[in-house]
Structure 1
Amino acid sequence: MFRKSGYAGTSMQDIANELGIKPASLYNHISSKQDILVELLSFGANLFVDGMKEIKSSKVNELQKLERLIALHLRITVEHTDLMALIAVEWRHLEGEGLREYLKLRNSYENDFRIILKGAMENGLIHAMDIEIAFFSILTTLKWFYSWYDKHSQLSMVDIEEYLKQLLLGGLKI
């Protein structure tokens, strides 16, 4: 519902109606719409953080880690397309501690991504270039992949993954 109507455009009444319950019954389980958003975005952020931990600890070089990060994004997008829409857009509605925790997880993930990218450059696996431009280009493509995937979900994920690896990293490979 948050993806279809936006966080601001979805009411607790709408959520209750969708679930087929009365709003009062909904409030027996959650205290606010904000709690739902926090729960969803925390779940999503942790998918990325957990994936990053696994990738960071793997015994492969930084280029292979970047390839695994691309695969991680694609897998999460395919398995949780609506969640990716929330991560891309609706996180801005988070407040207070929920916002602080979400940003902590996101910043941790992004910093680890930059470290891997920098390592790939320093080890001569990809061309040295401005890390922020490379980071922005790769992550922006992956972040918004969900909006493209909706219209192209009939394509093979194996092919999509290979094409995106070539596109996003091919220009950087030495």
Structure 2
Amino acid sequence: MISKDLSRKESIQRIGSNLFRKHGYTTTSMQDIASEIGIKPASLYNHIKSKHEILVHLLMQGANLFVDGMQEIKSSSLRSIEKLERLIGLHVHLSVEHTDLMALMMVEWRHLENPEREQYAALRENYEANFRNILVQAMQEGDIREIDTEIALFSILTTLQRFYSWYDKHSDLNSLDLEKHLIQCLLGGIRV
């Protein structure tokens, strides 16, 4: 049912996100979304054009959460190692607050069509490039060891991108503790 605090469109998107995650984008129908909300399928079209519109909105919303977080961290006056810590915190926060959305970003992006698919891929590539640059700067500042940047980036981002799945089974844990432990695990072995 729709929360009184959400608009109809926001509720459709939130329920769509949950159903896409549970059943997959391709197997979730507009009927499924309407049934979950408690309205007739035809009523959905008063708020959205298509199931694909829901997916596009959700994935771009998720991408922009990361882009905005990256921009804020990147433009701060923190040392690069502290920026890396904040980026880990960003992933933890978004995974805890938007678990369904993080799952969609990992799996369902492949259903995007151009030009949205290209735009989404460009946002992801830009985020990774910024993360890589901060990692390199941390090496240059002497806060982490000289290591293969691509392996370090792959190791850190793979863990962070899949964190939502692990968190699903451990959602009783405190997010601040999780952030602290992830920082220790992901950066502890490469710190100077």
CA deviation profile, 1:75-116 (whole Å, cap 9, x unmatched): 011110111110111111111122122112111111100110
> What are the residue-to-residue correspondences of 1:1-16 with 2, within 5 Å?
1-16=19-34
Whole-angstrom CA distance in 2 between matches of 1:172 and 1:18: 47
1:50 alignment partner, one of 57, 63, 68: 68
**1:27 partnered with 2:45:** yes
| TM-superposed deviation, 1:28 | 2.4
TM-score using structure 1 length: 0.97
| Percent of residue pairs identical | 64
CA deviation profile, 1:56-89 (whole Å, cap 9, x unmatched): 1111111000000000000011110111110111
Whole-angstrom CA distance in 2 between matches of 1:34 and 1:132: 34
SS of match in other structure, 1:63:
helix
Structure 2: segments with no counterpart, 5+ residues: 1-18
Question: Residue 169 of structure 2 aligns with which residue?
Answer: 151
1:93 alignment partner, one of 111, 117, 124: 111
CA deviation profile, 1:22-55 (whole Å, cap 9, x unmatched): 2222122222111100000111000000000100
Structure 1: segments with no counterpart, 5+ residues: none
**1:116 partnered with 2:137:** no
TM-score using structure 2 length: 0.88
| TM-superposed deviation, 1:149 | 0.6
SS of match in other structure, 1:96:
coil
